[in-house]
Structure 1
Amino acid sequence: MTSYEALKHQYMNGWQTWNNASVLSHVMMPEGVGLALGLKDYKRAKLLDTALIGQTEEEGIVTPYAHAYDNSFTEVKLDWLENSINVKTALDGDDLVLLVTPLKQPMKCSSLIINGISLWNKGGTVEKEEEILLLKGRNKQIPVYMTAPHNGELFVRCTTPFLSADLSGAVGISTGRPRTVEEIEAVIKRQQEKWAANKDKYGKLAEAYNAMQTCQAWDTIYNPQEDSPITTVSRIWNNQWGGYVLFCWDTYFAALMQSIDNKELAYCNAIAITRTITDAGFVPNYACQNNFKSFDRSQPPVGSMVALMMYKKYGDKWFLEELYDDLITWNQWFIDHRSTKNGLLAWGSDPYDMVTGHDLEKFGVHERLGAAYESGLDNSPMYDDIPFDEERNIIVLEDVGLVGMYIKDCYCLAEIAEILGHTEKAAELKMRAETMEERMESLWDEDFGMYLNRREDTGEFEYRLSPFHFHALFSKKVGQKRARRIIDEHFYNEKEFWGEYIMPSIARNDPAYPEQTYWRGRIWAPMNFLAYMAICSYDCPDARKDLAEKSEKLILKEWLEKGHVHENYDGDTGEGCNSPRSDKFYHWGGLLSFIALYENGYYQ
């Protein structure tokens, strides 16, 4: 068994919120049996079987407060119809305890439904003996008790044995042995104190850490296809994609955030996304169940940077060895398939034969839109009206954001190669980085004080600016003088990126900025993070500090009020909820916290 196999199977042991369908579900692994909580409302004659963070008011508003990585303590509030309940869970050794407390009730109290579940064809069964549920796995039998009497409710949608109780007061649930409400409260109190102590280690950034970590934990599920834990962008997205979906740079960033204090999950995610590499040699834009992938395009090459940061924190060479060959292949693929006539790089989309017939296998493929998707910036104004070269499969725009990231990728891979003893490859990668740095110098506009995208077909600069332009700072040839110009004339320019909330995905003076639609003006955590890391390449402590502080302010705005960690935020107001295209619990929103934690020395 490899180090990775041993690590992931050790991690997937015990009670966790593995089931994507509901955050009110806990599953014991490796048995694959567990519990799912639901409600029956008598005033409206409705049932709630599942609950997800970010769902509609009609479906039930879930407010997350806590989720320890090891599931030792979790807490959410559910508001549905006239019901409001608080659900806390904790671990007591191998046992799980739950406490469901009504905060508001309709005239006739609702019933709490406790459904036994068996998932993923692991051979588990559920039985009921009087008022006890029996969860039977292949190697373990788990009795489930509740503190309230079974009320005999039969009209539910459960297809396996269940318990039900009047939710007129707090109802406790425990596995292993019966416990009173008071005993359950004592277990929860003890574990909640441990959770709070861990959060408080981050001092004034405790809530920023909590927002990031809680989102990572709730967005982590089980992938039965690969028998591994994965952290997906959000559970709602998984439902929309028919099971699960991993996006390229999103998942690497999730691994990085987790690596602050959860090495095992971080390693699992970094390896999982890297292993989706296609036969063509690139990590795809997306990868789903049943080998459904974007076979036409990749995404920003951030894998080596993340892997190297994680290695420097934990020092496990086997982890680098797991990723090395695929990351090298991916790096070469960009040169072979995304090079321009001037030896720079452009985003693209390759033709390929459809595999499943899904609409996504033709939508945007081998055209400008697919190339924009490869950038990760989907509908960015930077790519409006840029011609697509169907012979070379690229848009005719030499992209400073991609070039800067590629330079960083080469240097990080060179360092990884040195660590693993591949000295010749390290030298080759350094030379590749230096060559690209030299070529990128042709993108500098002295009058404008910025490295710019350039049309390959006309040779003209494009002046539509995004935070991706700051990736030029990954180059060692920029120099401190130019770096300072970029910061002073653009980062701190109120007409471009500076403001109460930063950094907008397109400059404030761009005609598309007022749209505030997705990548057309809204603020995105990965853009802030990559710009921050690029700024760290030079002596610009003021910009680092300001970007970190404003990123923290942005994530706390809706986290403290609503428990949201948004996919993106309004460039003017900092709101997340004012756009239907901003998932309320999207894991990479936590990068706003990570920037602040990194700036304050919490990533060592």
Structure 2
Amino acid sequence: MIAGWNTWDVTTHTGMVHLPSGLRVRFGVPGAPLDGFTWRDGLVRLGHHTVGGDYAEVTVEAGGGRLHLVMAGGPTDELYVRAEGTAGVLVAVDGWRDASVAGWRLDWRETGGGPAREGVELLPVDGLTLEFAGQVELRVAPQDTAGEVTAGAELGARVDAVLAERRAGAERSAPRSGGWLGDAADAATRAVTWNRIYAPDLGRALTPTSRDFVAERRRGFYGTWALHAWDTFFTGLVASTVDREHAREIFGQILPFADAAGMIPNRVSDDKGVTADRSQPPVGALTVRKAYLASGLSDGTRDRELLSGTFAALLAWHNWWPRARRGPHGLLAWGSDPVEGDPGSSTLDRTKRESGLDDSPMYDDVTYDPGTRTMALTDVGLVALHIADAEALAAIAGTLGEGDVARRLRREAAEARAAADPLLWDTARGGYRNLRADGTHDPHVAPTLLYPLLAGMPDPGRAAELAGRLLRPETLGGDPPLPSVARDDPGYAATYWRGRIWAPMAFLAIEGLRRYDLNDTARSLVVPLLRLFLSEWDKHSHVRENYPATSGEDVRAFQARSDGLMAWGGLLAYLAYGELADAREDGWRFAHPGEPAELAGLPLGDGRLAVTAGDRLSVTLDGRPLLDAAPGVVVTAYRRTAEEVTGIAHGTGDLRVSPPGDGAPVRVPVSAEPVRFRLSRDDRHDNDGGTPA
């Protein structure tokens, strides 16, 4: 059972709710709507917010007044708050969702704005409203546990002490970034933690990708909650850099809603139910595997429970696609099944929604084939994602000891690559293209045409040529890069999926480039995308649903269709983290990004990982050195267990590697050829721990 104080109420982030009692304490500006704050409306700055609500800090404005809140709740019955308003502070206490509450006590102390005042309120069943002229400090607790704390100086001291202690704890537990990365870690973290809510009808906590998007009272599209398939998986991946347990919880949110055939629905919500006719892009195994790899320095410390808890559902979903979505030429295509009583099912519009790219120009001239229940178009992106899904599932199966399943999935991926590559490759254009039912290639260009790299479809030479051709400034390159359709496409409009920049697309495209070690090309995209990400965060405290593809465009208006705090926007920060520390199938890659940067506090099963790039590259675990390298040295395939450390050093310069245990760092000389190193706990080492790769 969930218990304690947190910002559970989806309608308001300027207050806290206690569970299971349902007591709610909200704060506002006198004369302004109490629940009028959204991510678009009145947000000035989001501060720390722990997953459990132990600490939350936010600044908002309304009606000419600014309100700064610092709240300390968490898994306890006591709530401590300091609220400071330039035009006063309004406090409303009631029972959430019309529940009756009593037996609570509120101690308050007002300072500033006039003579100091203090008081104690025993909460009536129907709640109360208080108005203060300046700063107020308060404590809420059950009457029978309120103790001797009064509303005077003792309360002020107690509030100060609790808030200071909780803030320090929040700073210790959160990932941090600096230098070239700016406040990227703060932004990505807060887009996850501030969107955590409680769904009473489910009796559980959820992290939808955005409160504004799912809540009608925040001008959203659903009642009080909704989950979307690929949104959930991308949110879980971003959350994996914040808290491993919370990420595991998020990944598991959508899985119970799969149907008997294994199909994970596009969307499920409290008021609109389940989309029984369609799914969404198959990115579940890919994101789960990525989060798993980044959860430790070796399989011994990684989050095996994340894999075991998701594998069966993800495998069933994977198997559903070829049964339900065979389109033109026997390849996969987006679709929609007929559902009795749902007149919108089995239509072209719904097939577009399954793609996740609702109004993409790629689908402007497509028709729906009722015979196959799919588009009359084989989509390169879907084919590649399903192959990548098979590979990720094979790796998961291997880790879990499901050898037969792993072999079957690897064979399936190889066969799918062999079948799809010659059909989807357009020789005349020198790249992959969507394939129409009549056998002609569709001319539209989008980042999805880079997804074959994610699936390992082209050979290395063709991959490099493809990337160079697609990433020209007039197509998918430029600054900022990776618009959702090429700039020279006739359908390009720099709106929604017709040209805006979307973090999920960027993530999938750049992960493909990294698979082929096209690291310079990947970095040329990551740098301007990070700049775009930080600009919106620094100016507006926003992590966006999508980002402007044209310089100077303001996408904050509701009509612009770019939600102000959507967790999957944090993928742009995640990609930038990968320039310093990136967990890959063969082990970790550590590199200097070429500019001073810091990334610290990443939660691994081994401890907290930190990477600092300055005059040298330093990698530490809970403050203990792991690697110390010259800027020109890149370390790949790094693994560390209690018994040995292995990796490969590339580049030029010197490298020092700490062996397991308490041994002194060992020098590994690095020159033109890659050098493998292996250090064991019990070995005696001289200066040189390396051997040629």
TM-score with structure 1 setting the length = 0.85
1:21-36 pair list within 5 angstroms: 21-36=11-26
Residue 98 of structure 1 pairs with residue 81 of structure 2: yes
Aligned mates of 1:159, 1:64 — CA distance in 2: 32
Check the 8 A contact 1:410/1:429 in 2, yes or no. yes
**Cα distance change of structure 1 residues 291 and 54 upon mapping to structure 2, 3 Å threshold:** closer
Cα offset for 1:186?
3.8
Q: In proportion to residue count, which structure has more helix?
A: 1
Counterpart residue number, 2:611: none
- 1:302-343 deviation digits (Å, cap 9, x = unpaired): 111122223332534343232222211111111011113423
SS at match of 1:202: strand
Amino acid at match of 2:134: G
**Cα distance change of structure 1 residues 268 and 291 upon mapping to structure 2, 3 Å threshold:** farther
1:579-594 pair list within 5 angstroms: 580-594=560-574
Residue 189 of structure 1 pairs with residue 171 of structure 2: no
Residue 417 of structure 1 pairs with residue 392 of structure 2: no
Residue 549 of structure 1 pairs with residue 527 of structure 2: yes
Amino acid at match of 1:99: R
Amino acid at match of 2:13: V
Aligned mates of 1:362, 1:571 — CA distance in 2: 35
Cα offset for 1:509?
0.3
Aligned mates of 1:92, 1:261 — CA distance in 2: 17
Residue 174 of structure 1 pairs with residue 157 of structure 2: no
1:30-429 pair list within 5 angstroms: 30-41=20-31, 47-56=32-41, 60-61=42-43, 63-91=45-73, 94=76, 95-103=78-86, 105=87, 110=88, 112-119=90-97, 125-127=100-102, 134-135=103-104, 143-148=105-110, 149=117, 160-166=126-132, 168-176=133-141, 177-178=149-150, 179-196=154-171, 201-204=176-179, 205=181, 207-240=183-216, 241-289=222-270, 292-312=273-293, 313=295, 315-354=302-341, 361-363=342-344, 365-429=345-409
**Cα distance change of structure 1 residues 400 and 113 upon mapping to structure 2, 3 Å threshold:** same
Check the 8 A contact 1:490/1:496 in 2, yes or no. yes
Cα offset for 1:198?
5.0
Counterpart residue number, 1:479: 459
Amino acid at match of 2:225: Y
**Cα distance change of structure 1 residues 151 and 317 upon mapping to structure 2, 3 Å threshold:** closer
Q: Matched residue pairs, number?
A: 550
SS at match of 2:419: helix
Amino acid at match of 1:386: V
Aligned mates of 1:279, 1:120 — CA distance in 2: 36
SS at match of 1:65: strand
Query: Unpaired segments of 5 or more residues in structure 2?
Result: 111-116, 142-148, 217-221, 297-301, 589-693
**Cα distance change of structure 1 residues 152 and 430 upon mapping to structure 2, 3 Å threshold:** closer
SS at match of 1:180: helix
Amino acid at match of 2:4: G
Aligned mates of 2:458, 2:72 — CA distance in 1: 52
SS at match of 1:519: helix
1:445 paired residue among 402, 426, 433:
426
Counterpart residue number, 2:476: 497
- 1:127-185 deviation digits (Å, cap 9, x = unpaired): 3xxxxxx44xxxxxxx32211358999xxxx982124132x221111134445334423
**Cα distance change of structure 1 residues 367 and 242 upon mapping to structure 2, 3 Å threshold:** same
Aligned mates of 1:85, 1:490 — CA distance in 2: 47
Amino acid at match of 1:593: A
Q: In proportion to residue count, which structure has more strand?
A: 2
Counterpart residue number, 1:558: 536
SS at match of 1:21: coil
Check the 8 A contact 1:565/1:584 in 2, yes or no. yes
Cα offset for 1:395?
0.5
Q: CA RMSD in A?
A: 2.5
Counterpart residue number, 1:436: 416
Residue 570 of structure 1 pairs with residue 536 of structure 2: no
Aligned mates of 2:74, 2:331 — CA distance in 1: 57
SS at match of 2:476: coil
Cα offset for 1:449?
2.5
Counterpart residue number, 1:44: none
TM-score with structure 2 setting the length = 0.75
